[in-house]
Homo-oligomer: A and B are copies of this chain.
Amino acid sequence: MKSRSEKPRPPFRFRLDAVSGVPVYRQVIDQVRGALATGALIAGDQLPTVRQLAVDLAINPNTVVRAYRELELSGLIETQQGSGTFIGEGRLRNAGAERERQLNQIVEETIARAGAGGFSLDELLAALRAAKERVRKERS
């Protein structure tokens, strides 16, 4: 069995998306799930404390508590009284499907925003490609 403090990892960074319309506690949950899917978080990693995350995201601690509780109920994380909250020993089902759903949601909402602004899908694609090109150059 792997010890929990075997290899300390850099803390996972949360980010809120104000324009998505998705409830805050839901975004926290989704990000933990997403991080599990990508491997950014693995079994044994410690999550930020409730208070710390509340400060970081400028939200109410109760909102964090709620998100953590829901994650714990679904078996993804484990709360160790007095020491913190940790990623559970595994078994994230359907990681791929969940990840795909999240990406799809981003894509659909982006297309919607473009439409509301009078932009076509093609214009959007072109702009995104241009952005990618910019990034590529900056790196070289």
Looking at chain A's contact residues, is the secondary structure mostly helix, strand, loop, or mixed?
Answer: helix
Contact at A116–B19, with CB atoms within 8 Å? no
A–B Cβ pairs within 8 angstroms, 17 of them: A19-B109, A21-B23, A31-B108, A31-B117, A32-B115, A33-B111, A34-B117, A37-B115, A37-B121, A38-B121, A74-B116, A99-B117, A99-B119, A102-B117, A103-B119, A106-B127, A124-B128
Contact at B73–A60, with CB atoms within 8 Å? no
Contact at A115–B35, with CB atoms within 8 Å? yes
Report the copy number of this chain in the oligomer: 4
Given A70-B73, A82-B60, A121-B37: A128 touches B107 (CB 8 Å cut-off): yes
Cross-interface CB contact of A124 among B107, B108, B116, cutoff 8 Å:
B107
